[in-house]
Chain A
Amino acid sequence: MPKSINPDIVERLNRVFQDVFDDPDIQINNETTAEDIELWDSLNHINLVLAVEKEFGIKLNAPEVAKLENVGAMLQVIADRAPINNK
């Protein structure tokens, strides 16, 4: 994980993944990509992004949405966009 990222965020993001992909066994890490999660297709990508937006109280712009192809990038965007959550 990038050192500036609060482990709390990782835990919350992991719960979002478990919820969206309906699988309590999912454990994400920085390198997790759509390749690793069978149901992570373009349809579910939008579900995932919307759930992330809601969980962290942020609104992402179109380029940011497109950039979120792996968990590391996602954590970075969350940390940048939601400083309040990154205590």
Chain B
Amino acid sequence: MVKFSEPVSPAEHKRDVFEEVRELAASGNVAEAFAILRTKATPEVDFVEQSRLVRLLHRLDRKTLNLTPLRIAFLATSTVAHFSEVLWLWLALDGFDTTFYSAGFDTIEQTVIDPSSDLYDFKPDIVWLFTGYRDVHISVAPGMSTADVNEAVQSAVYHRVRLWETLQSRTSATILQNNADLPEEQIFGNFEGSSSWGQTNVLRRFNVALADAVVAGVTIFDLDQVAATFGRRQWFDSRYWFHSKHAFAFDAYGLVAHRASRLIASVKGRARKCIVLDLDNTLWGGVIGDDGIEGIRLGGDAEGEAYVAFQEYLKSLKTRGILLAVCSKNEESAAREPFLKHSEMRLSLDDLVVFQANWNNKADNIVNIARILNIGVDSLVFVDDNPVERDFVRRSLPDITVVELPTDPAGYVASLDKERLFETISFSAEDQIRSQMYQENTRREEFSQQFSDLSVYLQSLEMIATVGDLDAVHLKRMQQLISKSNQFHLTGVRLSEADLLQLAKRSDTDIKYFKLSDRFGDNGLIAVLVLQEREKALHIDTWVMSCRVLSRGMEDFIIDELCRLALHRGCQSIIGKYIPTRKNTLVAKLYEQLGFEAIASESDGSITWRFNDLEGRLARVNHYITRQENDRDEGTTVCQKA
């Protein structure tokens, strides 16, 4: 068993989850049974408990849960049958119905190299190169020079890179590559960490070099970090390595599966975007309305230091692009006071995109925050020290993520961090300034209230849009926008970086990005379109746009741009398709509003729309937005057209 502080003991965990879920499942209440499973399942419980949860989930009629199909191929040098069961559970709890493929034991090379292998027929979304330290073959003699060590390390890394390249030439799956879990035994003892050639340091070098070699579409799964979190002595279980080639301890499966599931969910566009924070006893000790600025506990003593540490952690999340909002039951003036006057506050009002202090119920306030930010409730994370509020919010808004906090604020950082809610596979310039962009939006809203005429307002924004083709500089952000957009996404299609690079090579395809700036600041890269010429028509195969820039004439601007592109290609019309998903009703009428006519509809609710009047539209063009070509110096073209 792992020594984690558990909110419930394993015995209680058993009674709660198993009996309650079984009863609900038996009475056909699948959704509620699933919701309970989701709240109560913890990655830290041992393998026997994980297996019981797996069996419990097998009992539920999952068809009604709307899980997203997902295909994962394991290429492993160890037995993964038991692990994949646990991973199946955790991915289901994150919203996926996973089918697994597992190549024959220890046949990674053959499977990847053979173009007709089952792997490629399986059509995976994710290929997981599930290796460990035993698969890193670097022969280093004691005393070897650092240069020679590095060369040996590079050649081992190169071996992996070749596998990635072959995989990427045959599948557009995202590749997960385990790094090496450092073994506990050290032939030279402590000296292994002190010499450049010691096995421990050689594997550390390998892990760093592997990360340096990563290309678009490949992500390192940090197995070594999970091993350390679990505890190395428990992580390695030689008995089951010798017995049945299980690479690490069964009791670590929950933790590995949980981490992997959160990472895979982010690959598939299920990222959380904003933390909604309570104030009293969450950001500081005490109640500001009762205790006053002198009485709240923040900095100074052990308890106060814990709140400072939590604020610093939140501030770091904000700096990497996670939005912070406040939702507190307080008088607004009192709630703002610490932000303005307390010298130990690490968060300032500028760090917050929405500040709601009132006496309304928190569920209503949270819905309001989601509306103001134009993001889904499912991308919000609720952090509150009060278990009653947490329970109320969880019941009122089943889609929100509620973090369980311990009573001791010293545990706040660990409780939020261990949930791994903000996984990502990339980091773009937009992430660094996201919070600022949302704040500029709030200022735009205030500014817009001075105008009664929308067109005068739009004119006064002095907007400038930049148009460009997919390039290396923008690839990550473009892929991120496609994977994270839910509401303004006409077809719901997710494309990996590898997919985009493949498409960009085609002469019949254009992949365009749009950036927008105005007098209040830079909105960054806010729209991506994948366009393909087929039978004299320009087809909009993908259109995603950030909801930050809704209702500013950007949609019209984009259609003008497409008219130009279509004429340039000699097309007679533009064809767009709307495929309904759970979240994109926002754009159900988009093409109609833009003057398209419906030409076909399908039983799933999909509608195909056509626009013919290309020249007519360009003759009438009258815009609030000034057009600017992309700056060629900024990016380098990543692919030559075929």
Contacts and interface: CB of A to CB of B under 8 A. Distances in A.
A51 B82 contact: no
Interface in B29-55: 46-48, 51-52, 55
Interface in A33-87: 43, 46-47, 50-51, 54, 59-62, 65-66
Contacts of B242: 62
B243 A47 contact: no
Chain B binding site: helix, strand, loop or mixed by DSSP? helix
Nearest to A63: B243
B82 A46 contact: yes
Given A61-B239, A65-B243, A20 B81 contact: no
A22 interface: yes
Contacts of A54: 46, 48
B250 interface: yes
Interface in B64-82: 81-82
Chain A binding site: helix, strand, loop or mixed by DSSP? helix
Contacts, number: 29
B244 interface: yes
Contact of A19 (B52, B239, B244): B52
A51 B48 contact: yes
Interface residues of B, number: 16
Contacts of A62: 239, 242-243
A43 to B, nearest CB: 5
Nearest to A66: B243
Interface residues of A, number: 15
B254 to A, nearest CB: 13
Interface string B220-247: 0000000000000000000110111000
A4 B58 CA distance: 38
Contact of A47 (B46, B51, B239): B51
Nearest to B250: A50
Contacts of A47: 48, 51, 82
A50 B48 contact: yes
A66 to B, nearest CB: 8
B160 to A, nearest CB: 29
Given A46-B82, A47-B82, A20 B239 contact: no
A3 B21 CA distance: 40
Contact of A22 (B47, B55, B81, B240): B55
Contact of B239 (A22, A51, A59): A59
B390 to A, nearest CB: 31
B82 A43 contact: yes
Contacts of A46: 82, 240, 244
Interface in B245-284: 250
Given A62-B242, A62-B243, A43 B81 contact: yes
26 contacts: A19-B52, A20-B51, A22-B55, A22-B58, A22-B59, A43-B81, A43-B82, A46-B82, A46-B240, A46-B244, A47-B48, A47-B51, A47-B82, A50-B47, A50-B51, A50-B250, A51-B48, A51-B51, A54-B46, A59-B239, A60-B239, A61-B239, A62-B239, A62-B242, A65-B243, A66-B243
* 10 nearest A-B residue pairs (beta carbon): A62-B243, A22-B55, A54-B48, A51-B48, A43-B81, A47-B51, A62-B242, A50-B48, A65-B243, A50-B47
Interface of A: 19-20, 22, 43, 46-47, 50-51, 54, 59-62, 65-66
Given A46-B240, A59-B239, A62-B239, 6 more contacts: A20-B51, A22-B58, A50-B47, A50-B51, A51-B51, A66-B243
